[in-house]
Amino acid sequence: MQMQADAFETILADYEMVALIANSEAVDIDAITRSMPARTLYVFFTGCAKVLSRPFEHDAVLCHRLVAGGTRFLKSKKHFDRAYSLFSKPLKAEVGMLASPGVPDGTPPLPAARSSTLVPYTLDFDYTLGHIYPVKRVPTTGFAMAMWIAETMPTAQVCLCGFTGVASLNLSMYAEHDWTWEQILLQLFVKKGRILRFEDALSEAAGSYARIHARFPEFSEATVALVASNVLTNRFTGMERQMAKLWGMTKLQRRVRGFLRRLGNRLKRLKR
């Protein structure tokens, strides 16, 4: 496994920039490729059909979620077939990411990095970062990849593209992931300059929180930030669960609406 990881690091080191492309509606792939340096390696994930409408022509890596200890993929074969069809030249690498649900403090660390025979390169988020993720929640593959690179290659230039952590009408956000916690940690790395964001205006100004410290100086800025983070985390966690329920309840309606929209478009074409 360590040789696999080292080999993948060598591939990344050949590039000026590593751009991680989230499966998000916020992604404008043409704008991203126009803005990135010529020597950029683009990292996509199995569901990249959500953001690629035509074959991608630049150097790319495809990353997959591994489950059951690396014995199988999370996504089905149809997702893989669709993903492979969207790259016009051979991939620079195909990697699998192992990232398990967070466990309680005091849980013994992994004795060694895990590997899988399903992919040429296996990356183990849990071994590299330890038991950092919130208990019983599962890291997203994009977050795990970003943190793995930031930890193992601190001098690498990593740019997050579409990592907004914001739900959309068309793309699912699963409540098993702690999106709020991930955004907090990613933003800390952005503030330190360890990670870049393609979208540079994701967060609202903190002026309202700064007013609390100005009026009540006994509450330090750090205390206000910590309490605000805890409150927001609890609120967003509850909201995510409710949104997940609503998303499941409206699946049939969305499918019917999509069918009727496609049928209407087909009828319009036939009338021309």
pLDDT tens for each residue of 76-112: 889 999 999 999 999 999 999 999 999 999 899 999 9
Residues paired with 62 in a beta bridge? 44, 94
Q: Can you tell me the distance from the alpha carbon of 108 to that of 112, in angstroms, rounded to the nearest whole number? A: 12
The residue among 170, 203, 236 that closes a domain is 203
Are 85 and 166 within one domain?
yes
- Please tell me the number of Cα atoms within 13 Å of 253 on its side-chain side: 6
177 vs 161, more confident = 161
Percentage of residues of the chain with pLDDT beyond 70: 92
The residue among 203, 226, 258 that closes a domain is 203
Are 258 and 147 within one domain?
no
Are 109 and 181 within one domain?
yes
Length of the chain: 272
**What's the pLDDT score for residue 262?**
84
Are 85 and 127 within one domain?
yes
Boundaries of domain holding 82: 2-203
- For residue 228, what pLDDT band results from cuts at 50, 70 and 90? confident
- With a cut of 70, say whether residue 168 has pLDDT above it: no
**What's the pLDDT score for residue 171?**
56
Are 110 and 196 within one domain?
yes
Predicted structure pTM score: 0.76
Condensed to tens digits (0 to 9), the pLDDT of residues 133-161 reads 999 899 999 999 999 999 999 999 999 99
Are 96 and 187 within one domain?
yes
Mean pLDDT of the chain: 87
- Rounded to an integer, the average pLDDT of 55-83 is 94
218 vs 143, more confident = 143
The residue among 203, 237, 261 that closes a domain is 203
- With a cut of 90, say whether residue 232 has pLDDT above it: no
Are 179 and 226 within one domain?
no
Are 38 and 50 within one domain?
yes
266 vs 206, more confident = 266
Are 56 and 138 within one domain?
yes
H or E, element range at 45: strand 40-45
Closest to 173 measured CA to CA, from 102, 98, 248: 248
Are 74 and 135 within one domain?
yes
- With a cut of 80, say whether residue 49 has pLDDT above it: yes
**What's the pLDDT score for residue 202?**
40
- With a cut of 80, say whether residue 205 has pLDDT above it: no
DSSP assignment of 78-143: HHHHHHHTTBSS--SEEEEEE-PPB--TTPPPPSS----SSSSEEEEHHHHH-S-SPBT----HHH
What's the structural domain count of the chain?
2
Are 262 and 140 within one domain?
no
- With a cut of 70, say whether residue 201 has pLDDT above it: no
Are 133 and 245 within one domain?
no
- For residue 184, what pLDDT band results from cuts at 50, 70 and 90? confident
Q: Can you tell me the distance from the alpha carbon of 48 to that of 99, in angstroms, rounded to the nearest whole number? A: 19
